[in-house]
């Protein structure tokens, strides 16, 4: 199911087999929360080299409904993406709600932001929803703890995550879906280890490292990742959830993570903030008003092949919808290409030296 084919220190290049095809790791997954990567067509994502798209069980349960999506062919048929899908369990979204009403050992009661109706979500419900959606990779229901948190809050969240992982495991019925467990524990190495060892007993085909890159110090995030990755088995994929800045991706790959997702590429692209090989480009800046250069001369994406910084700035300033589309397309292409080049560098034994990624990759171009 998962095979590591090359290593360069802790960094790994692997192959993951899914029901809808083989994918290569390290792997970046564009986020299509509601079964769409905002502003981009499936054909554009395929051209950019996307292998897996991520959708969210919580959002699709609320609208249009997981039963409807099942009737219309699951995510693959419903959204016209026949390559692999991954669905998040909805745990992160539920625990981020302002109207989170009650958390018990049984599950979570919350108010829908769409129609203000109350719902109760249990691990079994999350798995049933994800079974209906038909993704190739699905996630166990877990409890995310808001930061900062007391040691008691972190420990209680780990207790629930372990218990809910067991229930998710027992509720999962489809043999064509890979169910991943999610390791929680904040930045507490002891709690992370306790959670990991409990999840290993369930022998999941893959493991996610959850609730990082959400406000903690970057060094603490990397240290926690290093601790978590070292505890996970070598023959299973490691999915670092919610990480997508260029420097963070490379540093996480260097520590042994295999899979990533993040909304930052399309979110930044929609506002004219583009990742480039020289740093971050803020296209709304007046100095790009008459700049004839492409956003990134080193990039082969359609945006950079066909359009100038001046034209893109004009689109954003004029409020034209093409601007966010071209910005999102570039950032998605850039992140996919960066991870693809990281894989090639691992295979050639030149990671990360061969990437030529500046330390300022996440900083504005001066």
Distance from C-alpha of 79 to C-alpha of 85, rounded to nearest angstrom:
10
Distance from C-alpha of 39 to C-alpha of 45, rounded to nearest angstrom:
11
For residue 64 the two structure tokens come to 């249009």
Options 88, 188, 251, 296, the catalytic residue: 88
Distance from C-alpha of 310 to C-alpha of 104, rounded to nearest angstrom:
54
Place of tokens 């080299």: 49
Which secondary structure element, helix H or strand E, spans residue 71, and what is its range? Answer: helix 66-71
Is position 142 annotated as part of the catalytic site? Answer: no
Is position 217 annotated as part of the catalytic site? Answer: no
Options 66, 188, 261, 337, the catalytic residue: 261
CB atoms within 10 A of CB 360: 13
For residue 161 the two structure tokens come to 């995550």
Q: Is 27 exposed, middle or buried (CB count within 10 Å of its CB: 0-12, 13-18, 19+)?
A: buried
CA 193 to each of CA 129, 142, 186, 188, 304: distance values in angstroms, whole numbers, following the listed order: 29, 16, 11, 9, 45
Place of tokens 């019925």: 173
Tell me the helices (H) and strands (E) count for the chain, helix number first.
14, 16
**Which residues are identified as catalytic?**
88, 261
């Amino acid at each position: 199911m998962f095979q590591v084919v090359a290593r360069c220190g802790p960094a790994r290049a692997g192959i993951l087999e899914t029901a809808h095809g083989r994918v290569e790791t390290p792997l970046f997954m564009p986020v299509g929360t509601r079964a769409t990567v905002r502003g981009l067509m499936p054909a554009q994502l395929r051209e950019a080299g996307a292998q897996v798209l991520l959708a969210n069980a919580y959002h699709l349960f609320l609208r249009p409904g997981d039963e409807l999506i099942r009737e219309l062919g699951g995510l693959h048929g419903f959204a016209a993406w026949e390559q692999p899908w991954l669905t998040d369990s909805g745990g992160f979204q539920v625990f981020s709600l302002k109207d989170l009403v009650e958390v018990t050992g049984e599950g979570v009661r919350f108010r829908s932001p769409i129609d203000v109706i109350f719902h109760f979500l249990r691990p079994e419900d999350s798995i049933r929803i994800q079974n209906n959606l038909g993704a190739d990779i699905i996630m166990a229901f877990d409890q995310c703890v808001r930061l900062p948190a007391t040691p008691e809050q972190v420990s209680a969240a780990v207790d629930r995550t372990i218990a809910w992982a067991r229930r998710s495991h027992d509720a999962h019925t489809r043999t064509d879906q890979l169910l991943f467990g999610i390791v929680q524990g904040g930045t507490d190495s002891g709690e992370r280890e306790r959670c990991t060892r409990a999840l290993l007993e369930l022998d999941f085909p893959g493991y996610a490292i959850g609730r990082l890159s959400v406000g903690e110090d970057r060094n603490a995030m990397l240290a926690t990742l290093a601790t978590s990755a070292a505890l996970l088995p070598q023959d299973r994929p490691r999915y670092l959830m919610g990480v997508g800045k260029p420097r963070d991706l490379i540093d996480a790959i260097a520590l042994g993570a295999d899979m990533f997702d993040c909304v930052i590429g399309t979110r930044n692209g929609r506002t004219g903030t583009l990742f480039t090989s020289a740093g971050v480009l803020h296209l709304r800046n007046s100095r790009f008003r008459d700049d004839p250069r492409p956003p990134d001369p080193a990039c082969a994406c359609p945006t950079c092949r066909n359009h100038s910084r001046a034209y893109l700035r004009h689109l954003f300033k004029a409020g034209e919808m093409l601007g966010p589309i071209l910005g999102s397309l570039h950032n998605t292409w850039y992140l996919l290409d960066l991870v693809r080049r990281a894989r090639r560098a691992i295979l050639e034994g030149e990671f990360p030296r061969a990437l030529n990624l500046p330390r300022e990759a996440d900083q504005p171009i001066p």
